[in-house]
Amino acid sequence: MRYERIITHNDMDGVVSAALCSFALKVGRFRFAGPGNIVKGEIPTGERDVVCDLPYPLVCGLWFDHHEGNLEDLRLRGISPEEIKGRFDLKDSCSRVVLEYFSERGVAFPSYLEETVDETDVIDSFKYSSIQEWRRETPGKLVDYSIKAPTATLKEKHLYLRELVPLVRDHPLDVVIQMGRVKERIERYRVEEGRMLRLIEQDASFLPFDAEREVVVLDLTRHNRRPRVIKNLASLLYPEALAILEVYNLFQGGVKTTNLGFSMSLTVNLSDRDHKKDLGEIMRTLNIGDGHKGAAAGTVYARSKAEMIKKKEETLKRIYELWKAQR
């Protein structure tokens, strides 16, 4: 079958996965999405579509993924992963899943694409041994910066990603970062990062019962518009923290609601340590969301501001209690 389009996650891993599929399948049409777009059925898919780094849709030609929560979703839907064309595997990145799948089928990827996947493994799994290593500006990290740079609209970001996929497919990353549009977006990110650090300084703190200062909480609920922030930057201000927990209001049609989003990730302090922390399990236990060991997210619904405040406090407390119970 000839595939016509690649639908992929709108992040670094999604871009690299699309570049690999484009190289292997000679497909030049790209569509970008978040997991919610697929879950809600907002993007129609067909048998000529290749879907990467996203939940399995109603139908597609090939599916590649590595998120444990998406595997559980298949089980709940009564679908066996073995019945799906493509591959699911618990690798550090979806890019790794794609690379191994096509390599086993005789596709000879250039060595620079294998190096790109090596970098993507580290970026997507956040497997850094120290804050210093995390902050090191490797070519892959700089391309990731360019993806995370602020854009006026989602459409503008997706236009950039459509330009970026062929660049990543056809060139080593150290060449990609020298290209004009990429360089401009890298600099745009650096300016934005300074603003984000100032915001984190205002809104981050530890819970009063977190005497060991393990989980830094980034509470963004005071803002009438959800500020753009990369929560992992909190590690620069709180280097002792083991995890970062972000809480924010959800917005609908640009209007702030009383519903809350929770997003949590481990810091580099646990990268090289043997531990039993599983953030996805915390979200599943609370029945508010999903994720994997190193990162997870969930949603809590409230009908009023008073209920929102109460549920926020209760959920933060329960997350912390479950965190401490994982020893």
The tens-digit pLDDT sequence of the chain (327 residues) is 899 999 999 999 999 999 999 999 999 999 999 998 998 899 999 999 999 999 999 899 999 999 888 888 898 899 998 899 999 999 999 999 999 999 999 999 999 999 999 999 999 988 888 889 999 999 999 999 999 999 989 999 999 999 999 999 999 999 999 999 999 999 999 999 999 999 999 999 999 999 999 999 999 999 998 899 999 999 999 999 999 999 999 999 889 999 999 999 999 998 767 889 999 999 999 999 988 788 899 999 999 999 999 999 999 999 999 999 998
* Amino acid in position 207: L
The rounded distance, in Å, linking the Cα atoms of 31 and 42 is 12
- 232/106 same-domain check: no
Q: How far is CA 259 from CA 137, 221, 253, in A?
A: 37, 10, 14
Contact, 140 vs 119, CB < 8 A? yes
Same-domain pairing of 293 and 223: yes
Taking the model in full, what pTM does it have? 0.85
Q: Minimal CA–CA distance to 169: which of 39, 5, 9, 21?
A: 21
CATH of the domain at 257: 3.10.310
Strand blocks (E) in 44-90 = 49-52, 62-65, 86-88
With 0-12 / 13-18 / 19 or more C-beta atoms within 10 angstroms meaning exposed / middle / buried, residue 2 is exposed
Residues 36 and 141 in one domain: yes
Within-domain flag for 195: no
Residues 225 and 165 in one domain: no
Residue 47, both tokens: 């048998």
Final residue in a domain of this structure, among 122, 148, 183: 183
206 contacts 215 by C-beta, under 8 angstroms: yes
